[in-house]
Structure formats: C-alpha cells, structure tokens
Chains A and B, each alone.
Chain A
C-alpha cells in the first residue's frame, strides 16, 4: 500500500522501528542515571533527548512530501556550511562572494530534486570551482587569495556537495530505487550512519583501548570502530532488503561501506576542528554540538553510498 504522494509503507514501519530503539535507549539511560547519577549520565540523557528532537524533525520532513524533504535537507546543509564559514578565517573583501556561495545551495539541491545527475555532478566541482577564484581575483586583493580559494572550495565540497547526495538519493527513480523508493534509500543511509556513530561510541566506551588516530580524535578506538562496523553490517543486512533494492549480502556490504566512510568523515571533520582549535562546530544541539558535528559522518557516507548505488544498483550491474 502506498500513501498518496508515493511514500512507501515500509518507510513508516522503519521509522516505527527507529522509535522503538529510541524508547529502549531512553529506558536504558533512565536506569543508568538512577544507578550512577552524575555529569556523565546527564550528558548521555541530554544526547538522548536531542535524538528525540532530531528524529522527530527528520521524520516530519521525510513523510510530508518530497519537496519538503529536499528543502529540509538543503536547510541542514545551509546550517552546516554556515558553521564552516563562521569558523574559518575569511576576508572582508570576500563577504559578497560568500553570499554567492550560500546561493549555490538551493541551485545544487534543485539539480538533485530534478534527479539531474550530470548537472548535479558538475555544478560545484566544475562551475563553482571555477567561479569563486575568478570572483576573488576580480576583488583585486591577492593577499590571502590561495587560502580563501582553498578553504571555500573545500568547504563547499565537504558540506554542500557531499550532503546534497542525500537529496539525490531521495530523488532516485522509482524504477531503480527499490521497494521503499528514494525515501527508503535516504532513511537507510541516514539511520545506518547515525546508528554507526552511536554504536562506535558505545563499543568504544565499553571496550575501547587501542587508539586509531590519537592526535586527531583521541576517543576513537579500534574496539569502537570494529564494534560499530559489525553492528552496522548486521543492521544493514536486516534493513537492506526492506528499504533498498539490495539483497541482504549486498546490503551488508553497503552497511560496511557506510560504517567505514562514516568513521572517515567523522575524523576528517575532527581534524578540521582541531586545526582551528575548537571542540564543537556550534552549540545548536544540546549534548551534540553543532549541525556539522552531527552530520560529519554523512559528509563521507552520503557520497560513497550514493555513488556505489548509482554505479552498481541503479544501473542494473548487480
């Protein structure tokens, strides 16, 4: 059965399952809090509360209709890009150029909404890549030029281009998107990426001993990473056949890719923040930090998952 605008029942069932998980997490947190009250469990409780808000906002955005979902994804991207631009060193002379960089967001998400693969792929990596150095050249200020061009280009790629792949998944053609449509693919990606973050954190807290990149992200351990990877593969194998066109073994593989890419995205944003000497990218989400802190894993997981799907599944190669 399908809802009027084509949202599959499967997406609603999957959201129901996520809420069941959330209720379980809230119960566990409440028990932990009672057993050992303190700042540690308070922080945990703040995080879980934020999850309630984030999942509810995401649910409303995804079930309403595809335009609302795309605008929502674009708005999240705007917030992430704004956090990036606000943290890095920018030049006064580039103020209006930055306004143009913001305007690239609605354009990119429109291309994604149109499912226009070619325009979507070239707009930022080619056209914006050429446009901003030109505009900065015309300001006439060469001091700090390379840094300004470099940081703006990378920022646009890691936030706007990377995150716009979520909207591209949503726009996937019904013929190739699988039993739950584009919304199912988006839910699969986002839920697994966030699940992997939480699983890595939990495994790391419980068993973490051997650090992976202590200078970048001292809390990331091999135990956490591998525990997260295993948990995410298992969940992906279960959820994949339900939400995507993938059979369980390919879905497990996709889950593994999401877990690894998510980890890499996480530590890449950590390296960026560490370079600037900040801990969080913002203070928007209590217990989590900024939007960029929450979508850091997605900056890698979204492009990797989308292009794997595009190459193997959408084209019929598997």
Chain B
C-alpha cells in the first residue's frame, strides 16, 4: 500500500514539480547505478535534493532508494515521521548517538541490495555553498568495501527552496553524476578522492555565485 502511495506521490507531485516548475539539467545519468547495493554521495542544499535524486531513478526502483536522514528532524512529529518513513523511505540516523554501531541500519540496507542516498555534508547548511564531507561515508565504504560510491553534484535547488524558506521559487537545477569510486583501504585518501571527484563534477558547470 505505501509502495503505491510512494509511486503516486512521485508521479503526481514530485515529477511534475521537477519538470514544470523547476526543470532539471541532468548530466552523467549513465553513471548512476542500475541496481544496488550502491551509495550515492551528494552535496546538500535543500529538502528537494532527496526528491530530485530519487526522481532520477525508474519508478520500479523507488522502494530500493533509501535516503539517510537525521532522526531528530524527520521523526520530530508523527505526521512527518510517517511521511518520511513510508513515502520517502528514509533510514533515520541518530546524531551523536549512543549506539554501538551508528551505521548498522545503513549496512543492513546495503546487505538488502538497496541504494543509499547520503549527504556527507551532514546538514543542508548555507544554500549553494559546499561544506566539507564528514567521514561517515568512508566508514560505511570500509564496512562494505565492495559497494560502489557515486559522487553527485547538485546546483540550484538551494536557490529554489533554501533552508528556512517555505516558498518555492522556480530555478533550473543541475544534477551532475560521476563515475563510481571504491574503498581504497584508507579513510584519508578515500575522502580526498571523493572530494576531488566532487570538485571535478562541480567544475563541469558554469555556476554563478549566490550570495
């Protein structure tokens, strides 16, 4: 039932909004994984990031996409929690948690051949400004070294719906997907490689600053 609602939500709401009001320029779509397990690592500007990334995949794979999201925010009230868990399919993460292995749920999802959507910047932060990637993605890659990690750079959604705003203003957004990288055996060099790949993707576009 929730799978039907999820598909309906994407067909009737997300895709029309992305197509008509926002407009997407997607580059490197051919790089995106056709099946899991896989990790998408993207920069984060807006709530729309998750929906946009999910809309890039075929509807039949929708339920296999699992965005990791902060439990304290998305489970804060029961309506949002229902929506986030059932319609978006998030895996809630407890920030600064006390559990033994904070990545256990994500690892389990990868073991179920699902595609994880991660925002290693942690939070949306300042729109259209990159923040340093946190190392969680590296720990996850280390735990599941055979799983490919796909860097994806996004621009524009932070202008359309930045943090703290409820009004959607139309802007075209750019999504630039890159080839997968794999665990290299060391956290530092892995993070460096991811950063270099993200910078290379960002450099494919000619984006004006937004201040």
- Chain A residues proximal to chain B, CB less than 8 Å: 78-79, 82-83, 85-92, 95-96, 98-99, 102, 144, 276-278, 282-284
Contact = CB atoms under 8 A, between A and B. Distances in A.
B206 A86 contact: no
B207 to A, nearest CB: 9
B25 A92 contact: no
Contacts of A89: 208-210
B156 interface: yes
Interface string B153-194: 000100100100101011111000000000000000000000
16 contacts: A83-B23, A86-B172, A88-B208, A89-B209, A89-B210, A90-B159, A90-B208, A91-B210, A92-B127, A92-B162, A95-B159, A95-B165, A95-B167, A95-B169, A96-B169, A283-B25
A95 B127 CA distance: 12
A78 B127 CA distance: 24
B25 A282 contact: yes
B27 to A, nearest CB: 8
A95 B23 CA distance: 17
A276 B208 contact: yes
Q: Chain B at the A interface: mostly helix, strand, loop or mixed?
A: loop
Interface in B194-211: 206, 208-211
A276 B209 CA distance: 12
A81 B118 CA distance: 33
A88 B207 CA distance: 8
Contacts, number: 55
B143 interface: no
Contacts of B208: 87-90, 276
B26 interface: yes
A79 B24 CA distance: 12
B169 A282 contact: no
Interface residues of B, number: 20
Contact of A102 (B26, B156, B170): B170
Contacts of A144: 211
Interface of B: 23, 25-27, 127, 156, 159, 162, 165, 167, 169-173, 206, 208-211
Contacts of B167: 95-96, 99
Contacts of A284: 23
Contacts of A82: 23, 170-172
Contact of A283 (B26, B170, B206): B26
B210 A86 contact: no
A-B CB proximity, top 9 nearest: A89-B208, A86-B172, A277-B206, A283-B25, A99-B169, A86-B171, A278-B206, A82-B170, A95-B169
B172 A83 contact: yes
Nearest to B155: A86
Contact of B23 (A79, A88, A98, A276): A79
Nearest to A101: B169
A250 B97 CA distance: 78
Contacts of A90: 159, 208, 210
Contacts of B127: 92
A13 B25 CA distance: 37
B169 A92 contact: no
A282 B170 CA distance: 14
A91 B211 contact: yes
B206 to A, nearest CB: 4
Nearest to B206: A277
A98 B167 CA distance: 12
A85 to B, nearest CB: 7
Contacts of B27: 283
Given A82-B23, A282-B172, 15 more contacts: A82-B171, A85-B171, A86-B156, A88-B208, A89-B208, A89-B210, A92-B211, A95-B162, A95-B169, A96-B167, A102-B170, A282-B25, A283-B25, A283-B26, A284-B23
Contacts of A96: 167, 169
A195 to B, nearest CB: 27
Interface centre among A79, A90, A91 (most CB of B within 10 A): A90
A88 B167 CA distance: 21
A91 B171 CA distance: 13
Nearest to B161: A95
A243 B46 CA distance: 50
A282 B162 CA distance: 22
B110 to A, nearest CB: 32
Contact of A282 (B23, B209, B211): B23
Interface centre among B23, B165, B208 (most CB of A within 10 A): B23
Contacts of A277: 206
B158 to A, nearest CB: 9
